Amino acid sequence: MTTDFKTMVRAAVRDEAQLRAALAESDIAPMLMVLVQLGGDLSLLDEAAPHIQGPWSFLQTVPEALKQKIRDRLVDTLQAYARSGRDAPPRPSTEALLRMMSVGVGQPVPAEYIPLLLEEMHFGDEDTRAVHWQRDPTALPVEDFKVIVIGAGLGGLCAAIRLKQLGIPFEVLEKNADVGGTWLENAYPGCAVDTPNHFYSYSFHVNNRWTRHFSRRDEILAYIREVVRFYDLAPHIRFNVEATSAEFDAARDGWRVGWRDAQGRTHSAQCNALITAVGQLNRPAFPKIPGLDTFKGPAFHTAEWDASVDLKGKRVAMIGTGASGMQAGPSIAPDVAHLRVFQRSPHWAVNNPNYHLPVTKGHIWSLEHLPYYSNWLRFQLFWASSDGFHASLHVDPAWKHPEQSLNETNHRMREMIVEYVRGELGGDEALLAKCIPNYPPYGKRMLRDNHWYRMLKRDNVTLETDPISHVTENAIVMKDGTVHPVDVIVYATGFQASRMLWPLEITGRDGHTIRDDWGDDDPRAYLGMSVPHYPNLFLLYGPNTNLAHGGSIIFHTECQVRYIMQALRGMLENGWRTLEVRPDVHDDYNARVDAKARDMVWTHPGVKSWYKNDRNRLTVTSPWRLLDYWAMTRTFDAGEFVAVHARDEAPAAQ
């Protein structure tokens, strides 16, 4: 980083007034970390520590005098570096990093996180999650090896980038006319990410110019498109084709993938390895309410938003109160004549003051021009959004309120949210009772409050919690006989997440099919990526890889893609024609998943969610800390797989 560091420092101090103006608008915690890293003086940490109560910027109440002291010293330090032409300082020692990190987020950071955090922060020029050849690739049959990737969302594109870097031929099949996956398909009003954007992005392709801390859909889609341009991926993507089948060809030790084009014509292609990156939130789920097909007005799912329908002055029924409902409802409420929300069960939603805030110009300037500022901000947001409260999601067997919460910490979270909602509702206890779930916090996805509770207080909004009987051509009829005339129905009812890989028909070795092996709601895979009887098949965002306690799914994706690239490298460098996870390894892992999930919030008997099947088995969500999953996937272990060198050889564990 030496040359870039010197250039960055010179640019930062070129205009002192601009530098100071930017620092005045920047977050104090990452700024302090930059100062300590550049100057090596840890004494300011002791001064700041009492004023940093947590990782979010709004929990850092550093006095203005101390803030100014930090800014002044940082300006002086940068100018000293510029005058002397000194190289970048060495990375702080592990002891210093622990002290810096712990002060920066207002809580102890365990030493076991240091390797992960350094990788995530991405100091220097090295791409810390890239996979490199261990043998000369020119001496390997790389050009004769082909990979097909199904899906051009964030997962599929990450795989494509890594395949291209290794020089492995590949093709991406995408059912839509553009990249983006769920961010392309979901275009409903208010659609936004609920993970802070400076963390919800590739670690190897950081975007420092987000305009909001939690960006709207269009800006995220623009980032994805920019990634495709930067890595020149478009020539490798076949658009407007929907993969319909994948069959393992034992004679060729590869896969035959079939797809249907926009004209309905069928095609197929052979590949050595297949990566599915179809996501979990890509097939809308609709409620099973009698009469839905008789409704005469416009009716559509939030994931299939019909922008041609003008909602102004209309009576709109919104069925569902999950993530998309909580974002879309407040966005359309001011324009409609009346919004009637039909709620089956309420969700927990927390307040995050940054959710509605734009990123200041000074903050953007510091991200782009201040050495290490972007790295430290990413660490701060990683910690704010990941493992910090994982321990509170476990059941305390002795807890006295097991129906409401899991333990003392979880109960405090419940009380904090209840008080917040009570305040938003102006003390309306009847409405509050409708809004507070009867299960512990985090039992379902924890949502961000998009002014949902304020919306419920509007004169033109009604929250219905009684059951629906049926739908007529112009109304929704309740079980008690009440008739609610409506002009438009919006389904905010989520996705068929447990029915993974559907409707893709996957046939493996010896006639095994995914649908037969998994059924419609019991998917299982080793590390969420590999399944016995399906050689050379790798899943992205597979079973038990969704994140429900925080974190960024992009982080999990990068862990999975690195692991898969190591597996493909092993195939090519060792001459393995097929690679298949051992059944005992697969079964033992899933037994550990089930055991881990058994006493966690998602399997609480009071929770019914898309995270688990009807038998209360957690199928979608990962029970592990991010640190745990990172460690499990950091290095591909060939001993856990059966590899075959040639078709006429018997399988043997490597």
101 and 28 in a common domain: yes
Per cent of the chain over pLDDT 90 is 91
Res 1: pLDDT? 39
* Host H or E run for residue 589: helix 583-597
Distance CA 515, CA 501 (A): 9
Tell me the C-alpha distance between 329 and 331, whole Å.
5
Asked if pLDDT for residue 327 goes beyond 80, the answer is yes
**What mean pLDDT, rounded, does the chain reach?**
95
pLDDT at residue 70 greater than cutoff 90: yes
pTM assigned to the model = 0.95
Residue 97 has pLDDT above 70, yes or no: yes
Which of the four pLDDT bands, split at 50, 70 and 90, describes residue 648?
very low
CB distance 20 to 348 below 8 Å = no
> Is 318 a domain residue?
yes
Give the mean pLDDT of 366-389.
94
Domain match, 546 and 430 both: no
Mean pLDDT within 173-201: 96
487 shares a domain with 501: no
pLDDT of residue 641 exceeding 50: yes
Percent of the chain topping pLDDT 70 = 98
Please state which of the ranges 171-180, 381-390, 595-604 shows the lowest mean pLDDT: 381-390
Indicate if 585 and 638 belong to the same structural domain. Answer: yes
Mean pLDDT value across residues 19-29: 97
Whether residue 456 sits in one domain with residue 316:
yes
Is position 394 within any domain? Answer: no
Angle at 380 between CA 375 and CA 384, to 5 degrees: 145
Q: Residue 594: which pLDDT band, with cuts at 50, 70 and 90?
A: very high
pLDDT at 606: 86
Residue 133 located in a structural domain = no
Q: Domain of 413: which CATH number?
A: 3.50.50.60
Domain span holding position 279? 140-283+497-653
Q: CB within 8 A of 598, min separation 6: which ones? A: none
Asked if 323 and 447 touch (Cβ cutoff 8 Å), the reply is: yes
Q: What is the mean pLDDT of residues 430-437?
A: 97
Residue at 135 is within a domain: no
Adjacent-strand bridge partners of 147: 170, 273
Residue at a domain's end among 469, 491, 513: 491
Please classify residue 516 by burial: count the beta carbons closer than 10 Å to its beta carbon, then call 0-12 exposed, 13-18 middle and 19+ buried.
exposed
E strand or H helix that includes residue 644: strand 641-644
- For residues 379 and 450, membership in a common domain is answered with no
Flag whether pLDDT at 339 surpasses 50.
yes
Residues 502-527, mean pLDDT to the nearest whole number: 95
DSSP assignment string, 368-410: HHSTTHHHHHHHHHHHHTTGGGGGGGB--TT-S-TTT-SSHHH
* pLDDT reported for residue 437: 95
Give the separation between CA 233 and CA 525, rounded to whole angstroms. 29
Query: Strand (E) positions, 37-169?
Result: 147-150
pLDDT at 498: 75
Please check whether residues 376 and 430 belong to one and the same domain.
no
pLDDT per residue as tens digits for the range 231-290: 999 999 999 999 999 999 999 999 999 999 999 999 999 999 999 999 887 788 899 999
Mark whether 64 and 184 lie in a shared domain. Answer: no
- Total domain count, the chain: 3
Residues 515 and 595 in one domain: yes
pLDDT at 54 over 80: yes
Indicate if the pLDDT at residue 2 is higher than 70. no
Is residue 399 included in any domain, yes or no? no
Is residue 387 within 8 Å of residue 552, measured between CB atoms? no
DSSP letters for 209-243:
--SBSS-BHHHHHHHHHHHHHHTT-GGGEE-SEEE
Same domain? For 451 and 304 the reply is yes
How high is the pLDDT of residue 550? 83
Residue 512's SS3 state is coil
Q: Quick one: pLDDT at residue 653?
A: 52
Q: What is the pLDDT of residue 388?
A: 84
Residue 654, pLDDT above cutoff 90: no
Judge whether 537 lies within some domain.
Answer: yes
Please determine, for residue 350, whether its predicted confidence score (pLDDT) is greater than 60.
yes
Tell me what the mean pLDDT of segment 22-49 comes to: 96
Report whether pLDDT(621) > 70: yes
Residue 107 confidence (pLDDT) above 90: yes
Task: With respect to residue 392, please indicate whether it lies within any of the assigned structural domains.
Answer: no
At 649, the pLDDT band (50, 70, 90 cuts) reads low
Residue 466 counted as domain residue? yes
The answer on 325 and 224 residing in a single domain is: no
Specify the pLDDT at position 607. Answer: 87
The pLDDT assigned to 496 comes to 81
Query: Averaged over 110-132, what is the pLDDT?
Result: 92
624 and 507 fall within a common domain: yes
